[in-house]
């Protein structure tokens, strides 16, 4: 049984799916690992390092044609998808909502496609949960980046010349990325506020030292799977009023609110941005799905009368080594669940909730 991975388009994606440490784990299962030439050279990992731990370096066509499983970060190019054969298994963050046409065509050729962004939120899937592992890093990096653009000190400083007030940070969305953003901003001395449609987030926010903004008459907008669901128009109106008042005193906003499979909810409207202090920052992690701010443009810094709105479509390209290490381990745990050790083969058992939920249909 062969696991393969080929180079991503590194102008768009610097993360990799198989690290040298994880190669050892696959080999311990009795699997073979094929990688394309210069697979992780952009991360400073030479092919010789992979060969030293037992991987085999092939050209791209050989790596794909010999594979039982092809493991990628993002959905491969159409050229690579067309090379996949019957009964091969493709695993990655395939984003089936955006790539429906490509995936349907691939599945029609009896290629089994598994998208790790569809993993159910159950205890047994936690070690495979790529959304959590990657979002953790994204929340941390968003705070670091936004603080680097903010032209004042973050913590309160008392000096003989006077006192510098602590920066005030608002985190929109208190999922994994949001909670890490709260923790990071708090550690750096900021005063942190947070808002989320899920009332269960209040306790988590407060445990990290943040102040939770409660919308009057709020209901718990959380799915059974633990994700946020779309708010009612009445809730949105009340949230807007609360946010507009709060934003008058906020220096930095970190936006992390996403609804799986849908356009990101627009939470920070243009009229709210107009009341923010000059020199403040909005860092929008939801930019790739439209953004939580009305003025967000992906991979662009917009200046709205002194307020900088930063849209980041793939912030993890700024932390590719750390992100790859976590993603590769998530993938290994998913593959391990597919692998029947007694029969030494991969089994697609649709009675397993993890396999059934992640299989693209």
State the total domains in the chain.
2
Structure confidence at residue 222 (pLDDT): 56
Question: Residue 226 pLDDT > 60, yes or no?
Answer: no
Cβ partners under 8 Å of residue 21, min gap 6? 53, 325, 328
- DSSP state letters, 27-82: HHTT-EEEEETTTTGGGT--HHHHHHTT-EEE-HHHHHHT-SEEEEEEPPPHHHHT
Alpha helices in the chain (DSSP H): 20-28, 47-52, 60-65, 78-81, 100-107, 130-149, 176-187, 201-207, 233-247, 270-273, 320-338, 353-358
Contact by Cβ (8 Å): 228, 222: yes
pLDDT band for position 224 (cuts 50, 70, 90)? low
When pLDDT is averaged across residues 1-24 and rounded to a whole number, the result is 96
Same domain, 255 and 158: yes
Look-up of token digits 């210069």: 38
Does residue 359 sit within a domain?
Answer: no
Does residue 63 sit within a domain?
Answer: yes
Question: Residue 94 pLDDT > 80, yes or no?
Answer: yes
Structure confidence at residue 357 (pLDDT): 95
Question: Residue 227 pLDDT > 60, yes or no?
Answer: no
Start-to-end C-alpha separation, the chain: 24
Structure confidence at residue 237 (pLDDT): 83
Contact by Cβ (8 Å): 227, 220: no
Question: Residue 229 pLDDT > 60, yes or no?
Answer: no
Q: What is the CATH number of the domain that holds 62?
A: 3.40.50.720
pLDDT band for position 263 (cuts 50, 70, 90)? confident
Structure confidence at residue 223 (pLDDT): 59
Same domain, 110 and 93: yes
Q: Does residue 97 carry a catalytic annotation?
A: no
pLDDT tens track for 290-322: 999 999 999 999 999 999 999 988 999 999 999
Instruction: Give the closest residue to 129 by CA, choosing from 162, 175, 98.
Output: 175
- Give percent of the chain with pLDDT exceeding 90: 84
Q: Does residue 132 carry a catalytic annotation?
A: yes
pLDDT tens track for 118-140: 999 899 999 999 989 999 999 99
Per residue, the 3-state secondary structure of 238-250, as one string, reads: HHHHHHHHHHCCC
When pLDDT is averaged across residues 320-334 and rounded to a whole number, the result is 97
Question: Residue 15 pLDDT > 90, yes or no?
Answer: yes
Q: Which of 87, 97, 124, 126 is catalytic?
A: 126
Strand pairing of 339-340 and 345-346? antiparallel
Does residue 62 sit within a domain?
Answer: yes
Question: Residue 335 pLDDT > 90, yes or no?
Answer: yes
Question: Residue 225 pLDDT > 60, yes or no?
Answer: no
Same domain, 162 and 233: yes
Strand partners, 158: 163
Which DSSP state fits 228? Answer: B
Determine the structural domain holding residue 77 and report its residue range. 2-118+319-354
Q: Which of 4, 129, 133, 198 is catalytic?
A: 129
Task: Label residues 280-297 b or e (16+ Cβ within 10 Å = b).
Answer: bbbbbbbbbbbbbbbbbe
When pLDDT is averaged across residues 320-341 and rounded to a whole number, the result is 96
Same domain, 309 and 179: yes
Question: Residue 217 pLDDT > 80, yes or no?
Answer: no
Q: Which tokens go with 195?
A: 């808002």
Same domain, 274 and 181: yes
Same domain, 141 and 55: no
Q: Does residue 117 carry a catalytic annotation?
A: no
Structure confidence at residue 115 (pLDDT): 96
Q: Which of 5, 132, 204, 289 is catalytic?
A: 132
Q: Does residue 227 carry a catalytic annotation?
A: yes
When pLDDT is averaged across residues 41-70 and rounded to a whole number, the result is 97
Same domain, 302 and 331: no
Structure confidence at residue 145 (pLDDT): 96
Same domain, 66 and 171: no
Structure confidence at residue 284 (pLDDT): 96
Listed as own residue / partner, the contacts of 216-224 with beta carbons closer than 8 Å and 24 or more positions apart are 216/242, 221/197, 222/197, 222/198
Cβ partners under 8 Å of residue 236, min gap 6? none
Same domain, 306 and 164: yes
Q: Which tokens go with 166?
A: 């602590």
When pLDDT is averaged across residues 336-346 and rounded to a whole number, the result is 92
Q: Which of 47, 65, 117, 121 is catalytic?
A: 121
By residue count, the chain amounts to 361
Q: Which of 117, 227, 322, 352 is catalytic?
A: 227
Instruction: Give the closest residue to 306 by CA, choosing from 273, 284, 278, 283.
Output: 278
Q: Does residue 284 carry a catalytic annotation?
A: no
Q: How many angstroms from the chain centroid is the CA of residue 254? A: 15
Question: Residue 39 pLDDT > 90, yes or no?
Answer: yes
């Amino acid at each position: 049984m062969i696991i393969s991975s080929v180079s991503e388009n590194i102008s768009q994606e610097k993360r990799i799916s198989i690290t040298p440490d994880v190669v050892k784990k696959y080999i311990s299962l009795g699997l073979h690992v094929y990688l394309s030439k210069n697979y992780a050279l952009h991360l400073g990992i030479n092919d010789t390092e992979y060969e030293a731990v037992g991987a085999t370096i092939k050209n791209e066509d050989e790596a794909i044609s010999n594979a039982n499983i092809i493991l990628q970060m993002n959905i491969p190019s159409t050229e690579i998808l067309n090379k996949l054969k019957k009964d091969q298994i493709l695993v990655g963050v395939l984003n089936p909502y955006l790539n429906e046409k490509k995936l349907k065509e691939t599945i029609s050729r009896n290629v089994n496609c598994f998208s790790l962004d569809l993993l159910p939120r159950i205890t047994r899937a936690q070690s495979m949960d790529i959304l959590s592992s990657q979002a953790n890093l994204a929340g941390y990096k968003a705070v670091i980046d936004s603080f680097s653009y903010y032209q004042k000190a973050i913590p309160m400083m008392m000096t003989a010349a006077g006192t510098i007030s602590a920066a005030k940070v608002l985190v929109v969305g208190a999922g994994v990325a949001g909670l890490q953003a709260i923790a990071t901003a708090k550690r750096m001395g900021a005063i942190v506020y947070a808002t989320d449609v899920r009332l269960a987030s209040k306790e988590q926010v407060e445990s990290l030292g943040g102040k939770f903004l409660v919308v009057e008459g709020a209901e718990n907008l959380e799915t059974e799977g633990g994700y946020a669901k779309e708010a009612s128009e009445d809730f949105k109106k009340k949230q807007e009023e609360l946010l507009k008042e709060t934003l008058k005193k906020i220096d930095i906003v970190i936006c992390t609110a996403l609804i799986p499979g849908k356009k990101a909810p627009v939470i920070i409207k243009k009229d709210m941005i107009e009341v923010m202090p000059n020199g403040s920052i909005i860092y929008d992690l939801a930019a790739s799905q439209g953004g939580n701010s009305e003025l967000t443009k992906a991979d662009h810094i917009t200046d709205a009368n002194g307020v900088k709105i930063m849209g980041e479509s793939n912030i993890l390209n700024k932390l590719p080594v750390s992100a790859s290490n976590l993603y590769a381990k998530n993938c290994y745990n998913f593959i391990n669940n597919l692998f029947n050790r007694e029969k030494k083969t991969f089994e697609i058992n649709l009675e397993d909730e993890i396999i059934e939920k992640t299989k693209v249909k």
